């Protein structure tokens, strides 16, 4: 996974800089989301891995499937990826692009897992508190997992705050066993 990220990083950075210069961050985000989905479709995976097709044929097949959703920059990216046998990196490129975009826009997606459903009022309070703590605009999504017993597990990018009862019991057990 780390190797794929390393290979995808320069393409994501170039796409982000191009989108930023053209003031097309959302358009590029949409294009890369579509391209990442297309690159993971079973039929496309077979075509991309086929030794019988040339890089140009793979690029053209990919562009044809995406249709008018790709602008000139998107088409050029697909062609460059095909020439370098990197079309399968599109999901990683899309994720890295979204990270650059979120950093630029000062936003972060936060996933909160609790043992019970959170009320709308509690979600709003939590979003405001996290927004102040992270100094970013927070987009909150919630999930319910009864296995955490109580408390909450919060994931914001690389940051994980484990305030769950299960997490605390695990830490206590580790401390007692050491």
pLDDT digit string (tens) for 131-166? Answer: 888 888 888 899 999 888 888 889 987 788 888 888
CATH number for the domain running over 2-102: 1.10.520.20
For 176, phi and psi rounded to 5 degrees? -70, -30
pLDDT tens per residue across span 65-108: 988 899 999 999 999 999 999 999 999 999 999 989 988 888 88
Query: What pTM, to 2 d.p., does this model score?
Result: 0.69
Looking at the predicted structure, is the pLDDT value of residue 1 above 70? no
Q: How many residues does the chain have?
A: 178
pLDDT at 11 over 80: yes
Mean of per-residue pLDDT scores for the chain: 89
Residue owning tokens 């891995």: 49
The CA–CA distances, whole Å, from 142 to 81, 104, 122, 139 equal 36, 24, 11, 10
Q: Where are the domains of the chain?
A: 2-102, 106-177
């Amino acid at each position: 996974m780390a190797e794929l990220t390393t290979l995808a990083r320069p393409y994501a950075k170039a796409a982000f800089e191009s989108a930023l210069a053209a003031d097309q961050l959302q358009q590029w985000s949409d294009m890369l989301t579509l391209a990442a989905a297309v690159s993971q479709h079973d039929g496309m995976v077979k075509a991309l891995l086929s030794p019988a097709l040339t890089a140009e044929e793979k690029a053209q097949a990919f562009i044809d499937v995406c249709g008018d959703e790709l602008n000139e920059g998107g088409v050029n990216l697909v062609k460059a990826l095909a020439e370098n046998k990197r079309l399968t990196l599109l999901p990683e490129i899309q994720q890295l692009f979204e990270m650059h975009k979120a950093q630029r826009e000062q936003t972060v997606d936060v996933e909160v897992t609790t043992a019970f459903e959170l009320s709308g009022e509690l979600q709003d309070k939590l979003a405001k508190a996290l927004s102040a703590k992270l100094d970013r605009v927070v987009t909150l999504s919630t999930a319910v997992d009864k296995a955490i017993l109580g408390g909450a597990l919060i994931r914001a990018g690389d940051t994980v705050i484990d305030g769950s009862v299960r997490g605390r019991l695990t830490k206590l057990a580790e401390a007692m066993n050491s």
